[in-house]
Amino acid sequence: MSTVIDVFLTIFWFGFFLYFAYKIYRSVRIVSAQECIIVERLGKYSRTLHAGFHILIPFLDSDAYYHTLKEQSIDVPPQTCITKDNVKVEMDGILYLRVLDPQKASYGIEDYHFAVTQLVQTTMRAIIGTMDLDTTFETREVINSKILEVLDQAAEPWGVRVNRYEIVNIAPPKSVIEAMEREKKAQIAKKAQISLSEGDRDSRINRSLGIKEEAINKSEGEKQKRINEAEGLASEIESIAVATAKGIELLASAIQTKGGKEAVKLRIAQRFIKEVEKLGQEGTELVLPLNLSNFKSVMKAVLGSEEKKS
């Protein structure tokens, strides 16, 4: 019997020694940078341990909560929201927060990660319910800012500050996506037709302007051409008239000189002979009042008639 008691006491003291050594080991704490430990003494909040070496009182102090002071990113699971125009969309996002007061984060709420995630989802459903589907795609920044405003007010008692929230995906139903794609294609086709019609209109306007300018230039050129031709013709007539007058003047002067009349008679005879030669072509029949066989009498008659005229 005593042997059994001795064995039991040995095991008890050995276990007690191990438990005491474990408590001594747990009383030494080394806290890393950007981390903290909430220490409780006899079940009540005692102090917050920050980076460095710390010793706890065994059997009295206990490390109740561990917190990181770094900025944390929390993935918000996808959820189904119903828009104002009764379209179901699935949305997810990512949340960035930081613990500012470890004591409030430990005692103000059970799990601030879960609480913030649930608050984001409920707030997002409420905001999306006031918007049409098209608006949700266009106002992501507005949605993010509204959710962040609600989280700032709600998370302050928890010792947590929400820095920002970003919507990652907005996924409407497949049928809605197909309808949006068809609408987009129709809009693109409409814009293409409008662009083509505007291009054709501008092309027609440019061609008409070109034809107009061409017609104006041609008319101006034709006008200038006629003016130049008229001026040239007038100059030509004037030159011929001046030359004719000078010729007549010189001819009159030549006639008044010695032998002038004989030269005129000779010239008239020559011209007469040439004209007669022109008339005497083959196959031509003429009746002349002169006896051309007696050329001398003919010339005398012609010159005599010229002398009478003079």
pLDDT at 280: 58
Q: Would you state the pLDDT for residue 308?
A: 46
3-state secondary structure of 166: strand
Low-confidence ranges of the chain (pLDDT < 50): 306-310
How far is 158 from 114, CA to CA, in rounded Å? 12
Beta pairing partners, 171: 90
pLDDT of residue 152: 84
Instruction: Write the CB contacts of 31 (distance below 8 Å, at least 6 apart in sequence).
Output: 37, 49, 50, 51, 52, 54
Please report where in the chains the tokens 């001026």 appear, as a residue.
Answer: 231
CATH 3.30.479.30 fits 72-172, yes or no: yes
pLDDT for res 306 = 46
Residue 287 confidence (pLDDT): 56
**Domain parsing of the chain, residue ranges:** 1-68, 72-172
H helix or E strand, kind and range, residue 159: none
The full DSSP string for 73-118 is EEEEEEEEEE-TTS-EEEEEEEEEEEES-HHHHHHS-S-HHHHHHH
Q: Give residue 153's identity as a one-letter amino acid code.
A: Q
- Sign for the CA dihedral angle at 92, 97, 99, 101 comes to negative
The letter for the amino acid at 210 is G
Q: Measured between alpha carbons, how far is residue 166 from residues 92, 142, 290 in Å?
A: 9, 11, 128
Using the structure block, give the residue that is written with the tokens 């125009």. 85
Q: Which residues contact 95 (CB under 8 A, 6 or more apart)?
A: 73, 74, 75, 76, 116, 117, 120, 151, 162, 165
Query: Tell me, what DSSP letter sits at residue 158?
Result: G
Neighbours of 158 (CB within 10 A): 21
DSSP for 201-225 reads HHHHHHHHHHHHHHHHHHHHHHHHH
Q: What is residue 275's predicted lDDT score, i.e. its pLDDT?
A: 67
| Alpha-carbon torsion (121, 127, 130, 132), positive or negative | negative
Measure the CA–CA gap between 281 and 246, rounded to whole angstroms. Answer: 36
Pair of tokens at residue 197: 């019609």
Tokens for 4, please give them: 């059994």
What is the pTM (predicted TM-score) of this model?
A: 0.53
Q: What phi, psi does 282 have (nearest 5°)?
A: -65, 135
Q: What is the pLDDT of residue 96?
A: 92
- The span from the CA of 125 to the CA of 90, in Å, is 10
C-alpha 75/C-alpha 206 separation (Å) is 60
Q: What is the pLDDT of residue 297?
A: 61
